[in-house]
Structure 1
Amino acid sequence: MKKVSVFVIIFMFIFALAGCSNSNGDEADNGVKTSDKPSDSNTADATEVQTENSLEGLTLTVGRWGGNDAETAAFQQMVDEFTASTGVEVQEKVYSDYNTELQAELIGGTAPDVFYVDAYMAPFYIQQGVLLPLDEDEFELDQFYEPLKNAFNKDGNYYAISKDYSTLALYYNKKWVNEDDVPATLEEIWNGEFLTNLQSQLSDGAAAMTYNQDLARNMFYAESGGISVIRDDIYSNLSDAQLVNNLTPLYDAAIAKKIVTPQDLGFGWNGDAFGNEKTALMIEGNWVLGFLEQNFPDVEFGVVETPTFSGEKGTMVFTVGYGINANTKEEAAAKVFIKFATGTKGMATWTTGAGVLPSRMDVTEATNVESDPLKVPHIAGAAYATPWQKGTTMDTINNEYRNYAPSVVSGERTLDEALKKAEDEANSIIEAN
């Protein structure tokens, strides 16, 4: 949080001095009435003409973080297709400490023309004015799942276009659990007899279900009923009575030892605990699919949508988009790149090769990704999930939540006491910065 605060101050100072706002260009672009815009076919033709006449031979820098071999190969294939189609060369900038290095380059004026924007960091970058707003019609945002496009929305403007996503779903080990026996609600799972009966079938040292003491996993049910973990845009609201009530079933189950963290079992994360058959159930993201298939091929498992909470469907979604540097000198080429990378062809190449889920509904259908029953529950969640994003102070709020959640399970504090302590600590840090 201190690191982010320093960058906030530096950004405000530099942008105030330089006056490097791109508002004139933005207003010209956003000021076109829908009725004045060309039809979809004309837009495509105009883009082709523009590319042939003015973009061919340009070099565009694209910033991203590293990935596994499949992701690296898929990105390169997508870039090669883009260059073959447009004549625009792409120079990659791959970062190890992504946000720290990118922010330093934004300050120094050496940041890429286009770069990855994690939805979690989007409010910060938007607040600093370093992203160009992007027109929802131009980038066909009607084809994107609603939570994914809204993850990059601020006051009706969009600042990045989602390239892929992950959602949480419930995984079960078929050795002990039949899909038809999985309760339909989280309340039934946590507080009914299901986990107690399941635990009796397991060997010593194994747990019926793991969970995470992290708002990145807990926020969708913590905010059930419309309450928010943040008030007044920046302050922690963790002690709100409704929020405490929403989290009570989870922590009642944890206190009763019906659910445990993977760390309680001696593992760093759910995937290892589940793969080693030390837990029968976990709520995890689709990133675990490849991990399990590669490292634990003999474990037979199934996946279902995250059970409902308070009578409503819910889960978390994590997404990354492409944004355009507000100070780019290659705005036209940057837009053409994002249109390609998040268009039907580019997204199909990327998601198929990298094994991730497409953000566009039409690409989901075209790539037949729904033929994989293990991915279907994750895809279903994209329509109603809560994005992991909540303003610029979530690091502080979540850190204090994680700091005090263990004291509830140990019996040191009640849940409302722990959440009030976490709220006070977080707000003290926020006010100090």
Structure 2
Amino acid sequence: MMRTRPLKVALLGCGVVGSEVARIMTTHADDLTARIGAPVELAGVAVRRPSKVREGIDPALVTTDATALLKRGDIDVAIEVIGGIEPARTLITTAFENGISVVSANKALLAQDGAALHAAAETHGLDLYYEAAVAGAIPLVRPMRESLAGDKINRVMGIVNGTTNFILDKMDSSGAGYQEALDEATALGYAEADPTADVEGYDAAAKAAILAGIAFHTRVRLDDVYREGMTEVSAADFASAKRMGCTIKLLAILERAADGQSVTARVHPAMIPLSHPLASVREAYNAVFVEAEAAGRLMFYGPGAGGAPTASAVLGDLVAVCRNKLAQATGPGESAYTQLPVSPMGDVVTRYHISLDVVDEPGVLAQVATTFAEHGVSIDTVRQQGRPEIGGEASLVVVTHRAPDAALSGTVEALRKLDTVRGVASIMRVEGE
């Protein structure tokens, strides 16, 4: 039976995503009503700049006092698309204190304070949904915490930042350098004026923390995620990757240890074989590869950012939360019963691709090989090429077998100290094999 009193929604933030949320709520109002079982009404929009013209939004709904909007007593659901830590954290807490369930797209806040927010939601018997915080429009959070709730996830590897994937894809397909590809991404609107959060891996690391917590039923904070940016990736790295039948992606990799007693979470650029499903992810798209014990390998793919795609994920959560409201129930909350420790990056077992500039003379290769052996690292392949443009030097490329990252890192530091090594041109992990 259809309920006639509308469920009232407070929209906190009305930028690119928020304006799309408001538009879809208006244009799809009848469909949303049918799917939820009650009308939904945009009851207020909290913004910082009330004078800005917002097409399709009644100016009477706009306010600069988000706290007053949440405390007025008739709001059922708050949609938080402000971003950042404050005032978003305080406003979400205020919503819970006033009996309001929350839909959020705030990856940074959830990665830092997700446990406290989940606890507040549970205390007040309310929902906290955040599909839009990870991978834009791609249904990922809900499948992992609901559809795969009866399975055991062992590994998650994915491209979760569209800006970096666009840049790396352009470098791969056109031979462009990093700065040239970044400039194109900026001109097309894929990169912010300050792209640091994207290219240095902070955005991907926040998403990795959220996904690791869901996948492994343990609390993983942003500080637990190892992070490397991609600003040092060069055209030479792509040329070397192509010779190996690989490409380069900025990956978020989450793994359960073989003994099941710990987990790891990391974000860094890596070479992956062209045969791997993630290698074919182009432009600004995202894709996440999930490996579960019973379900096997699953791939989630689609647009990972943008106003409309992200708003789609927000509206999906809104429908779910509103249905829960009508049923006087709540959906799944935090699952952190395993309390597994997060191991440091040094414990991760991986492979390295190392490019060295060395003296072009007999015995150098043997000296380099000895250094690897002394650190317990086995060499898979070696390629040496003279550098006629620099007399007396050669380029030496070494690809290792799998070894603890600490041993690989120690090997590189020892190589830097050799008199015959002029420099370490690049270091990159090799994944997906």
TM-score where L is the length of structure 2: 0.30
Q: Give the TM-score taking structure 1 as reference length.
A: 0.30
Bigger radius of gyration among the two: 2
More strand by share: 2
